[in-house]
Structure 1
Amino acid sequence: MAASTASRLWLPRPTASSPSPRPPPRLARFSPLRAAKLESVLSIGTHVIPHPRKVETGGEDAFFVGDDGGGVFAIADGVSGWAEKNVNPALFSRELMANSSTFLKDEEVSHDPQILLMKAHAATSSTGSATAIIAMLEKTGTLKIASVGDCGLKVIRKGQVMFSTCPQEHYFDCPYQLSSEAIGQTYKDALVCTVHLMEGDIIVSGSDGFFDNIFDQEILAVISESPGIDESAKALAELARKHSVDVRFDSPYSMEARSRGFDVPWWKKLLGAKLTGGKMDDITVIVAQVNIVVIPDDEGAIVEREKGAEKVTVAATATASAEQKG
């Protein structure tokens, strides 16, 4: 029996078409895999050399360093004039720095060095006074500074000094100072600065015994020749100490004294003499370098960052154990 017409109808078979190429996978906007974070942190080196006549007591400078935020450091220089009143000038500076360290994580401070100075000063019960500087680096790379008096700080970038604090003084050799007496200065008198730092920037901070005895070009030379921050701090302190006891060295201190009208007697001037020499003092030096570390949010995330003109891709999985550069 013949097949029905319907059973012989031909229907075209669907042909398998080539699959269209798929775009490469992309992280969704709200993907749980987030980019790693880049944070600024400080590597810090320190060195202290007391006044030649105060070696046994450790001198009258004090300092502390910490890892709060991206890093923090502070220096206080006890005012030696209190010794004439039978007061140990070191007690005030040391207590001021101890209190600064204690209040570092206080909620009211909130990474503000000026507020930290306020709370540390208010809690200091020792008799005396001190100049002081506190510097805090935020993880975003912003350096916050508060200083009272003539402890100083410089930022070096690519072999040049690109920022310096300015000393505060009532008159030559009499700086602003935080004091146990009501007539002294307070945190409200502090010089407050904000500096945006980059990876590789070097911070050099110190008491006036350091900056009174060394020039900027010497600082730059020592930094460039030293293998690391610890070596830099030690070399800078030792060079300043060498200058401080050299009566023939025309130091920044002696040059400033002459510019303010202080000099040798007139009869010495007739012989061609002039006021020269370093200034013997306690010398405290802190050297810090800004480093960028990668903090992965999630394993496998990828982040891109600009480093100079070169675009660098960093895999978080490869840097989960990234260490701070020295």
Structure 2
Amino acid sequence: MAAASTASRLSPPSRSHVRPRSLRPPLRRSRFSPVRAAKLEAVLSIGSHLIPHPRKAASGGEDAFFANSDDSGVFAIADGVSGWAQKDVNPALFSRELMRNSSSFLKDEEVNGDPQILLMKAHAATSSIRSATVIIAVLEKTGTLKIASVGDCGLKVIRKGQVMFSICPQEHYFDCPYQISSEAAGQTYQDALVCSVNLMDGDMIVSGSDGLFDNIFDQEIISIISESSGVNEAAKALAELARKHSVDVTFDSPYSMEARSRNFDVPWWKKLLGAKLIGGKMDDITVVVAQVKTVAVLEDEGGDIEEQKGNEQSIAVAVASAEQNEE
């Protein structure tokens, strides 16, 4: 009897005694579940600042620009050629109209994100009789910055405290840049310097009219970028430092150094006294500063965006061309 009792205690219970499992409803997946398909896209955060030439402050100067952060981001700068003022023509009219037209053609199907085609259409629609240097930059969602430039507006890309990309000015001779013009003898979109650079999350873009780059050195740009809390603050600080240098007759500016390297200098008799060509260059100063950011787009919802909290291991948008430039 004891053995039987032990056996019965050790035998499995009959099915009639098994408790049925509680049936819980399936968990609903969160809309922002990490398993959802996503892709990384590049966008620009853009800041800008313009300081007119001291003698042109009342009229707002002859530079013009626009910036648009829709889609990935685009910006453009036009510097009206001041020589037209000697013919009693306001150079600002051309640069401002060119920028208005550039902005209005952004969504044109023929443009399709191509800055050179955008320049072509904007120039064709501009009726003012004057000329301007111009630069247009468009960021693709893949991280490629596409640039079309005519003249000496500049653009630099700063990565981790170094200038890793810079465009070269186009000029006929010193202080006479290429320029988009209403005149048949002037340049057109076909004369533009066209290039592209692949950017990474965190890259800084500094672009401006020659009033910026004639008066400020690369190391000063890098220092201000590193010390600024945002793109607007950086653009303002760069413009103000360039303005300060431009009116300083003792500052050996990039412009004065370039002039001397091209054999422009004070008369020989002043050289005998130890004098040399020196000082800043007063001009309109336009600055655009943009920072590249990567965002994750949740594909199956068609538009939900979550910004990547970037770190050193976050995926770069594109690096191949940038690394080639660094080499």
TM interval, shorter chain, is 0.7 to 0.9
The match for 2:233 is 231
Give the aligned residue type for 2:213.
Answer: F
The match for 1:71 is 73
Tell me, in whole angstroms, the C-alpha distance in 1 between the residues paired with 2:123 and 2:309: 42
The match for 2:292 is 290
Give the aligned residue type for 1:290.
Answer: V
Tell me, in whole angstroms, the C-alpha distance in 2 between the residues paired with 1:52 and 1:276: 19
Give the aligned residue type for 1:213.
Answer: N
Shift in CA distance, 257/273, structure 1 to aligned 2, threshold 3 Å: same
Q: CA deviation at 1:39?
A: 1.1
Contact 2:81/2:132 (CA < 8 Å) preserved in 1?
A: yes
Residue among 62, 80, 91 paired with 2:64: 62
Q: CA deviation at 1:311?
A: 6.7
The number of residue pairs the alignment matches comes to 280
Shift in CA distance, 126/311, structure 1 to aligned 2, threshold 3 Å: closer
Contact 2:45/2:69 (CA < 8 Å) preserved in 1?
A: no
Q: CA deviation at 1:83?
A: 0.5
The match for 2:248 is 246
Contact 1:68/1:105 (CA < 8 Å) preserved in 2?
A: no
Give the aligned residue type for 1:177.
Answer: Q
Residue among 105, 115, 135 paired with 1:103: 105
Q: CA deviation at 1:227?
A: 1.0
Q: 2:56 aligns to what SS in structure 1?
A: coil
Whether 2:37 is the aligned partner of 1:35: answer yes
- Percent sequence identity over aligned pairs: 79
Give the aligned residue type for 1:149.
Answer: G
Tell me, in whole angstroms, the C-alpha distance in 1 between the residues paired with 2:41 and 2:163: 24
Tell me, in whole angstroms, the C-alpha distance in 1 between the residues paired with 2:71 and 2:230: 22
Q: CA deviation at 1:297?
A: 2.2
Q: CA deviation at 1:75?
A: 0.1
Shift in CA distance, 196/311, structure 1 to aligned 2, threshold 3 Å: closer
Q: 1:140 aligns to what SS in structure 2?
A: coil
- CA offsets 1:72-97 (integer angstroms, 9 cap, x no match): 00000000000011110000000000
Q: 1:69 aligns to what SS in structure 2?
A: coil
Q: 1:132 aligns to what SS in structure 2?
A: strand
Q: How does 1:83-102 map to 2 (within 5 A)?
A: 83-102=85-104
Tell me, in whole angstroms, the C-alpha distance in 2 between the residues paired with 1:53 and 1:259: 28
Give the aligned residue type for 2:108.
Answer: D
Q: How does 1:108-147 map to 2 (within 5 A)?
A: 108-147=110-149
Report the structure, 1 or 2, having the larger helix content: 2
Q: 2:244 aligns to what SS in structure 1?
A: helix
Shift in CA distance, 102/34, structure 1 to aligned 2, threshold 3 Å: same
The match for 1:165 is 167
Tell me, in whole angstroms, the C-alpha distance in 1 between the residues paired with 2:174 and 2:298: 51
Q: How does 1:190-269 map to 2 (within 5 A)?
A: 190-269=192-271
TM-score by length of structure 1 reads 0.82
Tell me, in whole angstroms, the C-alpha distance in 2 between the residues paired with 1:310 and 1:175: 42
Tell me, in whole angstroms, the C-alpha distance in 2 between the residues paired with 1:112 and 1:68: 15
Query: Which runs of 5 or more structure 1 residues have no equivalent in the other structure?
Result: 1-15, 17-32, 313-326
Shift in CA distance, 111/68, structure 1 to aligned 2, threshold 3 Å: farther
Give the aligned residue type for 1:297.
Answer: E
Q: CA deviation at 1:174?
A: 0.3
- CA offsets 1:260-289 (integer angstroms, 9 cap, x no match): 111011111111110000000000000000
Tell me, in whole angstroms, the C-alpha distance in 2 between the residues paired with 1:161 and 1:84: 38
Contact 1:146/1:193 (CA < 8 Å) preserved in 2?
A: yes
Moved over 6 A (4+): 305-309
Tell me, in whole angstroms, the C-alpha distance in 2 between the residues paired with 1:207 and 1:306: 33
The match for 1:280 is 282
Q: CA deviation at 1:310?
A: 3.7
- CA offsets 1:14-63 (integer angstroms, 9 cap, x no match): xx9xxxxxxxxxxxxxxxx7511211100000000000000000000000
Q: CA deviation at 1:67?
A: 2.6
The match for 1:13 is none
Contact 1:64/1:74 (CA < 8 Å) preserved in 2?
A: yes
Whether 2:182 is the aligned partner of 1:180: answer yes
Q: 2:212 aligns to what SS in structure 1?
A: helix
The match for 2:50 is 48
Contact 2:65/2:99 (CA < 8 Å) preserved in 1?
A: yes
The range that moved more, 46-55 or 263-272, is 263-272
Q: 2:242 aligns to what SS in structure 1?
A: helix
Contact 2:115/2:148 (CA < 8 Å) preserved in 1?
A: yes
Tell me, in whole angstroms, the C-alpha distance in 2 between the residues paired with 1:298 and 1:147: 38
Contact 2:212/2:286 (CA < 8 Å) preserved in 1?
A: yes
